[in-house]
Structure 1
Amino acid sequence: MFCSLSSRSLVVPAAGLGGVALAAPWWRRVVGSALAAGAWRWRVRASGRSFSGVVLVAGFASCGAAVAFAGAWGGWCGCSLALRRRVSGGRVLWAVSVPVHFPGTAPAAPTGGGSLWWVSRG
């Protein structure tokens, strides 16, 4: 695992996943974990496909790092995570979407393709 996880922020009953409880970690934990695992970019956005309604999307230059990150957080959340190949700023990134707990109003979903919704890592 990429960080110390002491509690689950949100637990939702599984809908069609064989009775497995789903959990959404606090979004800041996932950001720190993603950056520690080598993520180049990240963004929190709304998602109609996520059981929590919000995902943190982390972009990795290495497919292997993205797969390891997705495996670790997917096991913690209780579901498989989406892994997609994206092009951002002319470079190939592997995007991992993690369902997260985000207090208040969920950020807007991206309105188009491309790299507009990526937030650059400092």
Structure 2
Amino acid sequence: MTVKLIDNKITFKDVPDSYWAAEAITFAASRELFLGTGQGVFIPGESMSRAMFFTVLARLDDVETEGGANWYTKAQNWSVTAGISDGSAPDAAITREQLITLLPGTPTTCNKRQR
């Protein structure tokens, strides 16, 4: 297995060090799994959409997610091709139940980034 090391600390204006999930958010962002919503903002209280979930998994598999008709097109297409999802309702909030249902479909050969 190839492990790609990426560690470039990213901070967000709306995630102070005292925030309960700050360490986890910084960890994921520094590995380019989460990039926030732009302009140094993360919006930690917002629900995760299906599109956000597809994008995180695609980035975990080292898929280039930039470009396409919108910000999530490449990740959405990847999730369909990988058999993770049918790609429907990308703007809908993803539930915990859906996360648990979709995760087993994640390819076991992902080019996983260091945990």
What TM-score does the superposition give when structure 1 sets the normalisation length?
0.24
Q: Which has the higher strand share?
A: 1
